[in-house]
Structure 1
């Protein structure tokens, strides 16, 4: 008998225990500093060299690249290692699911990765680590080394479209899964948020693990308001044990 496919949509809340702040929560970055949103808005970033310089300074100062996976990330990787088919669809750009041991091919990064940079002209890619080393060495707005174009983080900025191939894969996973867990996501940012509804429409058991209410709570089979660092590992252990019982 085939094991059920578990899809996990992870949002900023799963990474707060790793020291990465969320964006839209009560203490979120956009609420504390609305001007910070300009630093990750494509139109502003491309038009204003000062915005780019501030953006690179912000990236130097934040700790995303130094963050370590927490208990929730590790629990997802452990579920996959137990033999349960798992696919992660993440709104996060921190790469912590992969660092926790989940194979990269099983992670769909809807909003890209903060660990890479891309040229807006020739699309050459490089590592964020190398780009930040150039900033550290005195280049306050480092251009692409291939063509001299504007370099940006390989994340989806406000005003940019999601990669249609990644979004298509996420849609397929949402339609095919047996269990869909939305964890640490406000479920307010579309099209990612809509995947919870797609899963429910196709018969998946919808579980929401989030501190605040979401627009999809009325569709959920189970809502968990406990801290993610303890609630998600406990939930995933239950799923893993349930899969073993069905196989026995």
Structure 2
């Protein structure tokens, strides 16, 4: 009888998507460091209250290129891990949808901060594709309103000033408690409550592996810390996991 494979949980942050051309907001060269005022564009109060903030937000989304971004080798490696039959879940702080675009089934991805691939009306709650809203911006609408009721359109992300979905948090908590291996990939591990997930996994006896360009608060507790570029490190780490090489992983 073959040995049962360990459950792998993967927490991903902005660092996994930088090779896809999506900026890291919190890193040393991140947007928040270069332009702290940009944070109000993703803060719910200013966003709903100010037409000018929304206009700047739409221009940022238009120019960021996230909608046209393609998965990179890191995203594809995690999809390979799932296709190899390893029990796994991805808990992502990202809103770019690139895990699903790489081939991970949507049911295997828990989006802690929502998704930027869709918009939602703040008034009537109708949902639509972000790409269609950005087409309206490209056509000259600087603050596109809901076509159903005229309300404010917003991305289906969790903005600053909003609480995370309790059901999503419960799913992530259950995964962290159930896993035997926890990978923290491209995350500063500073943003709560996502930053608590590695601790939950460690308390349940899981092996923690940190893959990040900058030091994190969990490095000393980790069984392994990898500083290589994520697009290089993850394919190698996935091969080790697929081969059952957990002693060295």
**Number of matched pairs:** 244
Take 1:165 and 1:179, find their aligned partners in 2: how far apart are those partners?
A: 23
Take 1:130 and 1:222, find their aligned partners in 2: how far apart are those partners?
A: 43
1:62 to 37, 40, 64: 64
Pairing 1:160–2:155 present: no
Pairing 1:38–2:40 present: yes
Aligned to 1:29: 31
- 1:171-182 matched pairs, under 5 angstroms: 171-182=173-184
2:134 to 117, 132, 135: 132
- 1:1-248 matched pairs, under 5 angstroms: 1-242=3-244
Instruction: State the TM-score, normalized to the length of structure 2.
Output: 0.95
Unmatched 5+ stretches in structure 2: none
CA contact (8 A) 2:95 2:111 kept: yes
How far 1:229 sits from its partner (Å)?
1.0
Take 2:76 and 2:5, find their aligned partners in 1: how far apart are those partners?
A: 21
Kindly indicate which of the two structures has a greater share of residues assigned to helix: 1
Unmatched 5+ stretches in structure 1: none
Take 1:26 and 1:77, find their aligned partners in 2: how far apart are those partners?
A: 29
Moved over 3 A (4+): none
SS in 2 for 1:72: helix
How far 1:218 sits from its partner (Å)?
2.0
CA contact (8 A) 1:84 1:243 kept: no
My pick for the range that moved more, 141-150 or 67-76, is: 141-150
1:132-170 Cα shifts (integer Å, max 9, x gaps): 112222221111122221110111111111111111100
CA contact (8 A) 2:212 2:227 kept: yes
Structure 1 vs Structure 2 CA RMSD: 1.2
Take 1:227 and 1:138, find their aligned partners in 2: how far apart are those partners?
A: 39
How far 1:34 sits from its partner (Å)?
0.9
Take 2:245 and 2:130, find their aligned partners in 1: how far apart are those partners?
A: 39
How far 1:125 sits from its partner (Å)?
0.4
